[in-house]
């Protein structure tokens, strides 16, 4: 008879853990983003504005480009022309990872420039990454390990409060890292094992 904290191999249990962690993390991230700045507010100064600019131009058919002087783009940012990040920037760019601007551009193309939709998408990507990581943790250490993952999410929100819902690439990058881990031989070895015993000095990734 297995104890509560020991991992089980029943697919229904694994699916329940995946769904529960996904829902809990998604709700947590949405509430946090809403309370901080609001889901529909313009991106904060910093990396989020260049991502928004690239996505705006991709959605418009201009390719990977930036033009902060574009009147329609700058409408949500009354003082954008005075910012150090945006000063004099115009033309094609390769300075940002492509996945998040492309995903944002799809949202803009389908639904208009709705910041809240992009933030919800980012929260969903982050939550899916945490849910998949929780499955790995569960197979390795049971329900206690899953609780450890959720505790890390709470800590991460306190240490990096704009990671989950801000309009930057971190949520997508987190999901990509987890997926890449899962499809590697080492990741599969962790998932396929009921119990995983490794030396503390052995790196996980």
* Cα separation, 130 vs 185, whole angstroms: 20
User: pLDDT, tens digit, for every residue of 110-148?
Assistant: 999 999 999 999 999 999 999 999 988 888 888 888 999
Contact 178, 133 (CB under 8 A): yes
Residues making up the chain, counted from first to last? 205
Q: For residue 200, what pLDDT is reported?
A: 37
Report how far residue 4's alpha carbon sits from residue 177's, in angstroms, rounded to the nearest whole number: 29
In the prediction, which pLDDT does 6 show? 53
39 touches 119 (CB < 8 A): yes
> pLDDT value at position 164?
76
- Regarding pTM above 0.85, the answer is no
What was the pLDDT predicted at 126? 92
- Predicted confidence at residue 105, as pLDDT, reads 96
Q: What is the pLDDT of residues 53-72, one digit of tens each?
A: 999 999 999 899 988 888 88
Dist CA 1 CA 16 (whole Å)? 20
Compute the C-alpha angle 89/95/101, nearest 5°.
95
Residues 122 and 172: beta-carbon distance below 8 Å = yes
Distance CA 20, CA 75 (A): 40
Measured in whole angstroms, the distance separating CA 120 from the mean position of its chain's CA atoms is 10
Low-confidence stretches of the chain (pLDDT < 50) are 1-5, 81-82, 84, 191, 193-205
Distance CA 203, CA 130 (A): 20
How far is it, in rounded angstroms, from Cα 86 to Cα 81?
7
Say how far residue 180 (Cα) sits from the centre of its chain: 14
């Amino acid at each position: 008879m297995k104890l509560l904290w020991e991992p089980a191999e029943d697919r229904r249990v694994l699916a329940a853990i995946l769904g529960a962690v996904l829902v809990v993390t998604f709700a947590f991230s949405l509430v946090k983003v809403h309370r901080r700045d609001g889901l529909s507010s313009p991106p904060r100064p910093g990396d989020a504005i260049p991502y928004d600019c690239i996505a705006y131009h991709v959605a418009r058919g201009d390719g990977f480009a930036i033009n902060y002087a574009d009147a329609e783009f700058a409408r949500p940012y009354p003082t954008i022309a005075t910012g150090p990040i945006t000063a004099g920037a115009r033309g094609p760019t390769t300075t940002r990872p492509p996945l998040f601007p492309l995903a944002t551009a799809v949202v803009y193309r389908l639904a208009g420039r709705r910041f809240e939709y992009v933030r919800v998408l980012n929260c969903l990507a982050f939550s899916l990454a945490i849910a998949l990581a929780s499955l790995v943790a569960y197979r390795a250490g049971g329900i206690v390990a899953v609780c450890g993952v959720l505790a890390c999410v709470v800590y991460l929100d306190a240490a990096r409060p704009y990671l989950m819902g801000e309009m930057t690439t971190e949520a997508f990058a987190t999901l990509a890292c987890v997926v890449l881990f899962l499809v590697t031989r080492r990741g599969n070895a962790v998932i396929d094992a009921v119990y995983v015993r490794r030396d503390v000095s052995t790196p996980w990734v």
